[in-house]
């Protein structure tokens, strides 16, 4: 199925974004490690924040609803980007829910979600993903981009990986960027950016590759090095990531760092380090948007 054509936007916004990109140039993180969950008592998911207007997915076989997405319709005169902070804070206390099989987009299944990885000092990936995503959201919003998050907080469960893509598709967004950190061997270091390959629709072809490339270029520009254990030149074509396989808009997944590498674990655990990653991701998204 071919995705609908991009919306026509007023020239004023696009010109402003191009000007921002030129001025910034002149002035001048699912392959994550996961924990196998067994015999963990289930608890009720946290209550929805008071007054929040949220869109939820349908209840699943366990009776639980995944953490809802903070969604709103795209507006015709703005770029819209979906940010997908990987995992969620309550995943570990709901093993039945996150281990249930969901479609992987290529005729098979995979687990709904995982707990994500953590540093040796137990700083969790889901917290890193959430903080970086909020900072990217704020940076993009300040530049006139409408931002949608696939989950509203870091205290819920899910959504499942396929539902994250559904959220993005439903908004009619220009792009989706998933934010993660990896859990590889201690000697592995560096970032890599994944995209769905072989592509399953037109948006997963050159447009997604261009988005992934813009993100990798921006991460290098911020001083980060491409992974020495995964992909090539910071790019990692993947067929097994359901969130990318189900996407019908340009989509990429950033593995910012290896949380099991001591040096990178120290960096992702600091506010300054997370801000550096957020800055690079926001710059990469803006570079791709202004090239469209």
Active centre residues (catalytic): 255
Token pair, residue 231, equals: 């992909």
Q: H helices of the chain, where?
A: 11-27, 95-99, 125-142, 161-171, 206-221, 242-245, 262-268, 271-289
Count other C-beta atoms under 10 Å from residue 147's C-beta.
22
Residue 178's Cα: distance from chain center in Å?
A: 1
Question: ω before 159 within 30° of 0 (cis)?
Answer: yes
Distance CA 199, CA 205 (A): 5
Question: ω before 242 within 30° of 0 (cis)?
Answer: no
Distance CA 81, CA 146 (A): 6
What does residue 144 show for φ and ψ, rounded to 5 degrees?
90, 15
Is 35:134 a contact under the CB 8 Å cutoff? no
Q: Tokens 């926001």: give the residue.
A: 282
Is 188:229 a contact under the CB 8 Å cutoff? yes
Token pair, residue 199, equals: 């592509």
What does residue 166 show for φ and ψ, rounded to 5 degrees?
-60, -40
Count other C-beta atoms under 10 Å from residue 223's C-beta.
8
């Amino acid at each position: 199925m071919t995705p609908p054509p991009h919306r026509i936007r007023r020239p004023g916004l696009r010109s402003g974004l191009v000007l921002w990109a030129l001025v910034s140039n002149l002035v001048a993180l699912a392959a994550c490690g996961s924990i196998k969950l067994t015999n963990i008592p289930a608890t009720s998911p946290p209550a929805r924040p008071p007054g929040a207007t949220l869109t939820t997915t349908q209840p699943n076989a366990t009776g639980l609803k995944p953490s809802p997405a903070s969604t709103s319709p795209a507006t015709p005169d703005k770029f819209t980007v979906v940010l997908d902070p990987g995992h969620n804070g309550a995943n570990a206390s709901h093993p039945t829910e996150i281990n249930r099989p969901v479609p992987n987009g290529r005729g098979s299944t995979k687990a709904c979600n995982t707990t994500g990885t953590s540093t040796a000092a137990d700083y969790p990936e889901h917290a890193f993903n959430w903080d970086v995503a909020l900072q990217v959201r704020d940076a993009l919003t300040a530049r006139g981009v409408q931002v949608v998050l696939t989950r509203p907080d870091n205290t819920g469960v899910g959504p499942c990986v396929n539902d994250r893509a559904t959220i993005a598709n439903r908004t009619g967004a220009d792009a989706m960027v998933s934010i993660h950190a990896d859990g590889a061997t201690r000697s592995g270091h560096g970032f890599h950016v994944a995209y769905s390959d072989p592509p399953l629709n037109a948006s997963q072809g050159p447009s997604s590759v261009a988005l992934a490339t813009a993100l990798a270029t921006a991460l290098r520009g911020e001083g980060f090095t491409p992974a020495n254990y995964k992909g090539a030149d910071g790019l990692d074509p993947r067929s097994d990531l359901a969130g990318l396989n189900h996407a019908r808009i340009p989509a990429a997944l950033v593995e910012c760092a290896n949380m099991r590498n001591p040096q990178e674990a120290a960096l992702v655990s600091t506010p300054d380090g997370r801000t550096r990653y957020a800055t690079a991701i926001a710059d990469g998204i803006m570079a791709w948007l202004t090239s469209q």
